[in-house]
Amino acid sequence: MNKSRIGVVGIPGKWSTEVLADRLEAQTGFRAVFDMKDVELRLDSNKLMCNGFDLTQLDGLVVKKISEIYAPGTEDRIHMLAHLEAVGVPVFSPTQSMSKLINRLSGTLVLQQGGIPMPKTRVTECSQRAFDAIREFGSAILKPLYSTKARGMLILGQKDSDEEVKSQLEEYRQTNSIFYIQQALDLKGRDLGMVFLGGEYLCTYARVAEAGAWNTTIQSGGRYELFEPGAELIELGHRAQACFNLSFTTVDIALTDEGPVVFEVSAFGGFKGALDGCGVDAASAYANYILAEVANCRESDRGAVNDH
């Protein structure tokens, strides 16, 4: 049995967190799940503690879920985990890679600079310019900079009067300092999750919306189905995820009349779509990948010691 001690950062009791811990435990006999709200960084002793356990003693740490809901404080949690990397504990995905994707605007800019096709997007603090963009797009989605699974998103369209749009913008502004506005596209009730492990393509599932729902999330009644993409679509997903150097991720892609577009790249990726839609145990594949990478790190360290 592999004796590596790999910890999992996640939400205790949540399926995706527990199944990854299960897969790692099956191969190593070691199990440790850490909730970031319980973690303490002790800079005076160079330790990262959680309920009496020093995370700097791990052979590796995988981040499945760093917080239940994204917020600016989520970025602070990643900064704390960067301390582990500084003392030599591998983190999956690397903290620098994850940090680019907590804030929606940051991730969007990386994709834009990488030449990845995306829906038309406007970002502004000005209510009038936000109103003008919505009217230009015809139908638009307001997306909070910190959110996942369509939480907090608001769709405004042609059926809304000018007064209704302005009123909703002002209400939205009460909890959001900036307007991130994306043109609403005709997804024909479906978008795709393309899964990558260590930069290599694993599988693709479709999220199919429930009748009447404007988004395809499972929380809104959507379901998973198998999807077989062509080589060009896989290449698009590969280019999108390559902008971030993630250990495991899902690229959200939509097929439109104007061609495929990328909505976002996930900082952590999900296991459920791969399992239910494609029959692929992504958690097991990820565990194997992590253990192989940790073994490679050990070999590299031995080589460096021998060189001296």
pLDDT tens digits for range 211-243: 766 666 666 667 999 999 999 999 999 999 999
Q: Are residues 254 and 109 in the same domain?
A: yes
Q: Which of the listed residues 183, 206, 223 is the one where a domain comes to its end? A: 183
Tokens at 92, concatenated: 């999956």
Tokens at 2, concatenated: 């592999």
CATH code for the domain in which residue 167 is found: 3.30.1490.20
Helices (H) and strands (E) in the chain, counts: 9, 16
Answer whether residue 90 shows pLDDT above 50.
yes
Q: Are residues 295 and 230 in the same domain?
A: no
Task: Tell me the percentage of the chain whose pLDDT exceeds 70.
Answer: 94
Boundaries of domain holding 10: 6-100+284-307
Q: Are residues 108 and 222 in the same domain?
A: yes
Reported pTM: 0.91
pLDDT value at residue 302: 54
pLDDT value at residue 305: 45
pLDDT single digits (tens) 33-55: 999 999 999 999 999 999 999 99
> Which stretches of 90-236 are assigned E, i.e. beta strand?
91-92, 121-124, 140-142, 154-156, 179-183, 190-197, 200-208, 223-226
1 belongs to a structural domain? no
Q: Are residues 192 and 279 in the same domain?
A: yes
